[in-house]
């Protein structure tokens, strides 16, 4: 990356004379409207302005529903037919809004490429991943099929897919979520574009692969002068890799600043609230910070300050139509400039979602709720011409785990380590080869279908990919009610009350019930999946990456909700995650998994402070951390400053009040 001095000089030049010529792309006064049956033309994106310079990484952050993904799709001209775009989108001195569809096809991939938020929905399940990347190469390059295939294998090797020549023949369903994301990255980079739009590119990746992917993007920037627009809800990633960040709320950009300035001195209350909602990887917190309320739906957007109903600094004039906090004048015109996060800390203590002290669950841990012993599972890797298995791969090898009532056991490890397989085996969603599984004292290993269905009312799962776990033809209200219908014993009014209560607690509203899964964002679908898992009042919950797709504020709400429910009902959680900083917040004990085996299991505090396992230390060293400007020599924090933060050196940590 560039030095801090160079980065600062570049940002200073952004507003100087002639600076526009270097912007790729440049978005000015972008407005996006959607026509809906209930509300007619509704504005989703309101006068947005963005720019990305050659070799620069710009982060676009904000809560789910703020309009980040719609903005990126508008730049690519990939919106549905019921959308209309106004303003200008300039790439290499051409306004994309003036191009024909054929001309846009030539631009997409060759000049501007995109990594989509949900890779499984973007890959064709009927073709191998190698064929799909090779097709993208041949679309923009005059080359033979052989050369395109060779280019695909080269890209797979570069993005870290093991044995690329062999794995290129695999289909998307044979890849994990993280592996699919790497395929999407290879496809996006196949034709060396000038601009890369990355929509949540690291959501499905573990911390080590995340660092590799972000490092790869940085290398390509140095080689090709690639400009990157990084859309993410992970502010720690933004702090580590971005040169500048734009904060988006309710369709508007509310703050745009160089990264060090934005994290050290956030000028908009919404930015400060997002920073306060970040997990603290240094120490265990009783509860996570939250921003009260939620982003309003687009049909409720107002002309005055849209954050005022949630802002602790709001004044009467903030809700007036003449409020100066307009899209053309973000930040500077805000009446609550330079807020401190200590104020947010005080306010969040009174928020109903985060209210109530969280008990020390380890002290109150009860009987064993989930016991796994000698669990083994293998899958066929190769078959002969007769279809007989000639080679297998061990996904899980002799795993032993124990989770008590009122306890959270986190299962961590890299993508492909076998974490999700263990979670599915724990509820017998897939059949084990060997071992025993006891849920609430009952051995479910040999249970019949009827008895197993009853157990699954008391032991449920929050799946990693919410879109795949929900019926695409069913409305959300049915998807949430389905577990109650399956278990029986719930009246219609009881179902409605439970659904309404859970929707509010996970940050959704009643108008979401009539939607289908394809009409909702990834973060909204994840909240639906959480509500669905909790609707039958379970005693054991297997959480497979339950908040990976959520933005910082909603994630804090959900984690606080999970912990509150755990305290109220003495729930046992098997919490599967690749986010080590989040695990530090929620876990009582941590089990580290590598290549199908548990390599370490210890109390969370002990594991973070003094792990004896080299693999665990590798995971911990890859955690992105926020470093104050005084501890940084450039956009990327040094390893020494990261180590100081991990040891709890408060002087270097972001988020300390004055």
In this structure, what DSSP letter does residue 578 have? Answer: S
Burial of 233 (0-12, 13-18, 19+ CB in 10 A): buried
Looking at residue 179, its pLDDT comes to 80
Burial of 616 (0-12, 13-18, 19+ CB in 10 A): buried
Looking at residue 11, its pLDDT comes to 39
Q: What crossing angle do the helices spanning 492-505 and 522-534 adopt, rounded to 10°?
A: 130
Q: Would the pLDDT of 152 be above 90?
A: yes
Q: Would the pLDDT of 476 be above 70?
A: yes
In this structure, the dihedral spanned by the alpha carbons of residues 253, 259, 265 and 271, taken in order and rounded to 10 degrees, is 40
Looking at residue 150, its pLDDT comes to 93
What is the rounded CA–CA span in Å between residue 389 and residue 380? Answer: 6
- CA nearest to 593, candidates 322, 358, 334, 399: 399
Looking at residue 634, its pLDDT comes to 40
The residue to which tokens 């497979």 are assigned: 544
Contacts of 296 (CB under 8 A, 6+ apart): 250, 306, 309
What is the rounded CA–CA span in Å between residue 633 and residue 2? Answer: 10
What is the rounded CA–CA span in Å between residue 62 and residue 239? Answer: 14
Q: Would the pLDDT of 629 be above 90?
A: no
Q: Would the pLDDT of 115 be above 70?
A: yes
Domain boundary assignment for the chain: 126-182, 368-616
pLDDT digits (tens, 9 = 90+) for 297-350: 888 888 888 888 888 888 877 877 666 565 444 444 465 554 444 444 444 433
CATH of domain 368-616: 3.40.50.300
Q: How many helical (H) and strand (E) elements, i.e. helices and strands, does the chain have?
A: 24, 20
Looking at residue 522, its pLDDT comes to 67
Q: Between these two residues, 316 and 253, which has the higher pLDDT value?
A: 253
Burial of 621 (0-12, 13-18, 19+ CB in 10 A): middle
pTM above 0.95, yes or no: no
pLDDT digits (tens, 9 = 90+) for 41-80: 999 999 899 989 888 999 999 888 888 989 999 998 988 8
- pLDDT > 70: percent of the chain: 81
pLDDT digits (tens, 9 = 90+) for 167-215: 999 998 888 767 887 888 888 888 888 888 988 887 666 777 777 777 7
Looking at residue 261, its pLDDT comes to 87
């Amino acid at each position: 990356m560039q030095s801090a001095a160079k980065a600062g000089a570049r940002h200073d030049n952004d507003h100087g004379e002639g600076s526009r010529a270097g912007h790729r792309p440049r978005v000015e006064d972008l407005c996006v409207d959607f026509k809906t049956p209930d509300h007619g033309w509704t504005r989703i994106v309101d006068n947005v302005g963005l720019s990305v310079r050659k070799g620069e990484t710009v982060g676009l952050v904000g809560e789910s529903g703020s309009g980040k993904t719609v903005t990126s799709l508008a730049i690519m001209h990939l919106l549905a037919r019921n959308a209309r775009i106004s303003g200008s989108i300039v790439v290499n001195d051409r306004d994309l809004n003036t191009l024909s569809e054929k001309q846009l096809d030539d631009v997409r991939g060759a000049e501007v490429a995109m990594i989509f938020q949900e890779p499984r929905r973007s890959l064709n399940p009927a073709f191998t991943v190698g064929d799909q990347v090779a097709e993208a190469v041949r679309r923009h390059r005059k080359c033979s099929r052989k050369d395109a295939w060779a280019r695909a294998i080269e890209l797979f090797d570069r993005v870290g897919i093991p044995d690329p020549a062999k794995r290129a023949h695999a289909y998307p369903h044979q890849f994990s979520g993280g592996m699919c994301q790497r395929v999407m990255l290879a496809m996006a980079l196949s034709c060396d574009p000038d601009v890369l739009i990355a929509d949540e590119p690291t959501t499905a990746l573990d911390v080590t692969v995340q660092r590799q992917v972000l490092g790869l993007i940085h290398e390509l920037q140095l080689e090709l002068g690639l400009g990157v627009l990084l859309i993410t809800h992970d502010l720690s990633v933004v702090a580590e890799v971005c040169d500048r960040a734009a904060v988006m709320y309710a369709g508007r950009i509310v703050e745009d600043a160089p990264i060090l300035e934005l994290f050290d001195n956030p000028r908009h209350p919404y930015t400060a609230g997002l920073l306060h909602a970040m997990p603290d990887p240094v120490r265990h917190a009783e509860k996570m910070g939250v921003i009260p309320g939620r982003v309003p739906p687009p049909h409720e957007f107002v002309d005055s300050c849209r954050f005022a109903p949630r802002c602790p600094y709001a004044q009467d004039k903030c809700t007036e139509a003449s409020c100066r906090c307009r899209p053309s004048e973000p930040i500077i015109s805000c009446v609550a400039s330079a807020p401190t996060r200590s104020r947010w800390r005080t306010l969040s203590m009174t928020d109903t979602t985060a209210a109530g002290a969280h008990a020390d669950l380890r002290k109150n841990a009860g009987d064993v709720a989930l016991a796994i012993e000698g669990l083994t599972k293998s899958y066929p890797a190769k078959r002969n011409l007769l279809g007989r298995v000639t080679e297998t791969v061990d996904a899980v090898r002799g795993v032993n785990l124990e989770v008590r009532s009122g306890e959270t056991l986190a299962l961590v490890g890299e993508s492909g380590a076998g974490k999700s397989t263990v979670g599915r085996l724990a509820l017998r969603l897939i059949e084990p080869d060997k071992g025993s599984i006891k849920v609430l004292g009952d051995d479910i290993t040999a249970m019949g279908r009827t008895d197993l269905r009853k157990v699954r009312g008391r032991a449920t799962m929050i799946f990693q990919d919410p879109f795949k776990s929900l019926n695409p033809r069913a409305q959300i209200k049915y998807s949430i009610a389905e577990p109650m219908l399956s278990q029986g014993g719930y009246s219609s009014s009881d179902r409605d009350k439970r659904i309404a209560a859970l929707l509010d607690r996970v940050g959704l509203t009643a108008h979401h019930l009539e939607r289908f899964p394809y009409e909702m964002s990834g973060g909204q679908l994840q909240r639906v999946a959480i509500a669905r898992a909790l609707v039958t009042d379970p005693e054991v919950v297997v959480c497979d990456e339950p908040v990976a797709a959520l933005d910082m504020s909603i994630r804090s709400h959900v984690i606080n909700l999970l912990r509150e429910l755990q305290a109220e009902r003495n729930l046992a959680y098997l919490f599967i995650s690749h986010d080590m900083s989040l695990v530090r917040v929620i876990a009582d004990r941590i089990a580290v998994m590598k290549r199908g085996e548990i390599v370490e299991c210890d109390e969370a505090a002990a594991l973070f402070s003094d792990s004896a396992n080299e693999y665990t230390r590798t995971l911990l060293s890859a955690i992105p951390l926020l470093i104050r400007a005084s501890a940084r020599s450039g956009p990327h924090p040094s390893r020494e400053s990261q180590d100081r933060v991990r040891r709890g050196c408060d002087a270097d940590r972001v988020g300390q009040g004055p």
